[in-house]
Amino acid sequence: MTLSIDEAFRKFKSRLELNQKEQDNASAKHKEVREYLHTKFDIEGDFLTGSYARYTKTKPLKDIDIFFPMKESEKAYREKAASVVLDDYKAALVEKYGEKAVRRQSRSINVDFGVEVKEDDKTDYKVLSIDVVPAFKSGDDYEIPDGDTGKWIKTNPKIHAQKAVDAHQAYSNEWKGLVRMVKYWNNNPKHGEKPVKPSFLIEVMALECLHGGWGGQFDREIQSFFATLAGRIGETWADPAQLGPPISGSMDAARVERAQKLLTAAAREADHAIHLVRQGKNGEALRAWRDLFGPMFPLS
């Protein structure tokens, strides 16, 4: 019995969902890193956040964001360039995890746990890495360091989370699944560099690009999502919470052009896959979707 396209998409969607074992591993990693960082800095109320907390994270599960809000006693960092706090957190994490496992990024420190990714993108339910984000509370918002500019930027994870919840509900609870699927496409190593950077931009665009409600068919939803992303990737996309710098800030002209090409190609491939089903070529259609997305899209 061959899988229908709808069944295949449902299976794909559930494979990209966070399961309990993965959440347990993420909590364990959070606990381990928090217990250590609390010995190094005055931290209060650290929490798992970003796409992980919103259920818009894709697989393999990596770069889970953890905010580490610091107490008043650490406020001297806030007056210094953003690179200072990032360097100090990096040095602290290197002491525990070693130079090779720790990488400074623009707004966080990445800690890699050295987990193996299998051919089918499975990781034995383990989290590959986390992003440690030093932060200060600022009213209802947070301020986090931006190493690229040396400044601190404002953010509010609660507002981002609420927007995602609202969009999901307005889309018959299919919005987050569609976002995870396109983020999975974006992460496919076949592209080399990610076409859309940061991948949060896909979620931010989805707030506007998935509209009019769920049409009932995954293949058509994905096809038109890719087409709309291709058409609008060159626009300026503001922080949905109106606090931080534009989410599209690192999409320069060359990146936009490349992303546009790849998104357009993806929309065309999706169109072709839909056409194959109309011709009764279900198996070929499944293969086309697998080629488009990657190994987590099921063939059976």
Nearest to 243 by CA among 140, 169, 150: 140
Q: Say which entry of ligand ATP, Mg ion, none residue 94 contacts (CB below 5 to 8 A, set by partner kind).
A: none
Q: Shortest approach of ligand ATP to residue 203 CB, angstroms? A: 6
Q: Shortest approach of ligand ATP to residue 52 CB, angstroms? A: 7
- Binding of Mg ion by 145 (CB under 5 A): no
- Binding of Mg ion by 294 (CB under 5 A): no
One residue of 30, 57, 90, 126 binding ligand ATP per CB under 6 A: 57
Q: Shortest approach of ligand ATP to residue 198 CB, angstroms? A: 4
Structure tokens at 139: 């009213």
Residue whose token pair is 């690192």: 250
One residue of 65, 141, 143, 203 binding Mg ion per CB under 5 A: 65
Q: Say which entry of ligand ATP, Mg ion, none residue 195 contacts (CB below 5 to 8 A, set by partner kind).
A: none
- Binding of Mg ion by 50 (CB under 5 A): yes
The interface with ligand ATP within residues 146-205 (CB under 6 A) comprises: 153, 155, 157, 160, 198-200, 203
One residue of 164, 210, 230, 247 binding ligand ATP per CB under 6 A: 247
Nearer to ligand ATP, 198 or 231 (CB): 198
For ligand ATP, the binding residues (CB under 6 A) are 50-51, 57, 63, 65, 153, 155, 157, 160, 198-200, 203, 239, 243-245, 247
For Mg ion, the binding residues (CB under 5 A) are 50, 63, 65
